[in-house]
Structure 1
């Protein structure tokens, strides 16, 4: 996919390995087949070329078909460590996102608890990644360093479900306590391949 993206004008990208969660099925749970290996490709590109690049990749890899994959775009034109409520409302008005990408960083082994809480609040599943720090100063991005033995859970959901899902994760995983984890949501401005009856969720 990265090669195709470069053919379409992308200058490069970063590939992550992840685990997608399959819809609840007792037999799959017993057989240990309730997770699917995934590759996550992140590409930074200009606002002008973003939509065209996503459309070309979606068409080439047939994201409109079941279980072929999902592509979505997140704006980073106004990324700030801290923003007031008026700035947040302005961003929502400008992009008017239909979906959000909820990111949760927790201790390794707690990702399944995170997915369980999210599903209880209406999420259809998520993708789990494993991360570690690389000399990032404390408080540079978040009030928690991404050290070895951390799980990163990515959940894509309609905007109407965001608050309920985040509140449930915060409550069940006690993220209101210091050092328990971090959760935040990013607006999604364009999405391809999200099928309602899909077995594997992002």
Structure 2
């Protein structure tokens, strides 16, 4: 049975309510981690979310047959039909381990067929960089057209990370930047990140793109883009 990953970003204090709603709708639970948001000084928002410094990011693996009802429950619980409350999006999961009672290992089939006319397609750019370099990624993404990003924190163990202190191996801290972007802008944003964060040099970091299946919580952006596409179509005709 195919699974998908529901990723939800909400303001601090909302994760418990969102997880409860997802469980009532059919999910078995989720994993919550802390992060912080970034936005341009002009907007003071990331995808319409008012920029409180701390964010809660919830990862929930769900059977695709239950995805829509869980997504609807999460949107309702987090009031994400209103600007500034949060964002939730769905990513394909190619393989799953550790929850075999839920999902059989499989390669997902093409979901949803051809995109409908005027549909807005999104990608998620995941950038993993050394500590204090996340702002370079955020600045580059904004300059290329993104509205901001969400920064998480972790640690890395790579072939270029051999630093030691008194003979003790040090695993450098990492910053992970999640950037949800209109697919038409993905290439420009990714190239901007590579250039500004110097990801073409060894040991500087890595960035990769994940295809987003569904998105909720950014209706103001979706409506604006659809309107612009419709206007362009009328002008061309």
- TM bucket (normalised to shorter chain) is 0.7 to 0.9
Aligned to 1:3: 20
Higher strand share: 2
1:178 partner SS: coil
Deviation (angstroms), 1:23: 2.7
> With structure 2 as the length reference, what TM-score do the two structures score?
0.65
CA-to-aligned-CA distance 1:93-113 (integer Å, 9 cap, x gap): 968581001000000100011
Q: 1:132 to 1:91 in 2, by over 3 A?
A: farther
- The question of whether the paired residues in 2 share the 8 Å contact of 1:71 and 1:191 is answered with yes
- The question of whether the paired residues in 2 share the 8 Å contact of 1:127 and 1:154 is answered with yes
C-alpha distance in structure 2 between counterparts of 1:26 and 1:95, whole Å: 34
Aligned to 1:154: 178
Deviation (angstroms), 1:175: 0.4
Deviation (angstroms), 1:129: 0.4
Q: 1:46 to 1:20 in 2, by over 3 A?
A: same
Higher relative contact order (CA 8 A, sep 6+): 1
1:57 partner SS: helix
Return 5+ residue gaps in structure 1 as ranges.
Answer: 28-33, 80-89, 198-202
> With structure 1 as the length reference, what TM-score do the two structures score?
0.76
1:74 partner SS: strand
CA-to-aligned-CA distance 1:96-139 (integer Å, 9 cap, x gap): 58100100000010001110011011111000000125xx7x69
Aligned to 2:152: 129
1:119 partner SS: helix
Based on CA coordinates, which of the two structures has the bigger radius of gyration? 2
Aligned residues: 176
> Matches of residues 162-177 of structure 1 in structure 2 within 5 Å?
162-177=186-201
- The question of whether the paired residues in 1 share the 8 Å contact of 2:40 and 2:142 is answered with no
- The question of whether the paired residues in 1 share the 8 Å contact of 2:21 and 2:73 is answered with no
In the alignment, does 2:207 pair up with 1:183?
yes
Q: 2:132 aligns with which of 109, 112, 124?
A: 109
> Matches of residues 43-54 of structure 1 in structure 2 within 5 Å?
43-54=60-71
Return 5+ residue gaps in structure 2 as ranges.
Answer: 1-17, 45-50, 97-108, 162-170, 222-237
Q: 1:56 to 1:120 in 2, by over 3 A?
A: same
- Coordinate RMSD, CA, aligned: 3.2
Structure 1 ranges of 4+ moved more than 2 A: 90-97
C-alpha distance in structure 2 between counterparts of 1:39 and 1:7, whole Å: 20
Q: 1:12 to 1:20 in 2, by over 3 A?
A: same
- The question of whether the paired residues in 2 share the 8 Å contact of 1:101 and 1:157 is answered with yes
CA-to-aligned-CA distance 1:158-196 (integer Å, 9 cap, x gap): 100000000010011110111110100101111101144
In the alignment, does 2:35 pair up with 1:18?
yes
2:148 partner SS: coil
Deviation (angstroms), 1:61: 2.1
